[in-house]
Structure 1
Amino acid sequence: MNARLLAGAIALGSIALSTPVLADDPNDPSMRSRQARERDAAIIRQLNLEQLRYVQKRDAEQAKGWQATRDYPNQLAEHEKRMAAWRHAVRMCESGHYEYCAR
């Protein structure tokens, strides 16, 4: 029983998905005039340009993130170096070398 139900659902789904789509129908009566086709082409061109700007902006933001990721090891090493110098200055200051206390 379950196999029959599944087979029926698959058949019904394939019929529903195989219906013709009228998006680029060359016989569409609303697209017979040259003006309509040019207007349609201009709209598509505008949509493509908007999508291009979106993708370029997104990619630029992602590139910044990747650059920060690549720079992290260098920044971490520089931070550790500064912290080591600071800890050394604190030890020297506490041991009486007061010239290190000004840091």
Structure 2
Amino acid sequence: MSRYNAAGRPAGQTYTSCVTGARTSRLDLTGTNRPVAAARRHTRDTLLRWGLAPELIDDALHLASELVTAAEGDAAEGAREFQLTLQAGHVSIAVEDGNRRA
């Protein structure tokens, strides 16, 4: 299990579910000055490590940028946590921003 903070240093967690086989990696964005860059770096490094094709990683980088940018603009606290999940050949990207609205 490994976890990275926004500076790319261990502080988060990556794990594989025994039940579903899903791989998940989380990045704590709290307090980072450049959350979009941190999320993009984490996305690239994680998806390369998981063996995804470069063209798929490019698409994921674009989506990561858009989601973190939106979270930064919508919530007073900004983006707090970034999560990647790989399950059954599909990548999911989620951003928690502390805003209680859906």
TM norm. shorter chain > 0.5: no
Q: Which has the higher helix share?
A: 1
TM-score between the two structures when normalised by the length of structure 1: 0.28
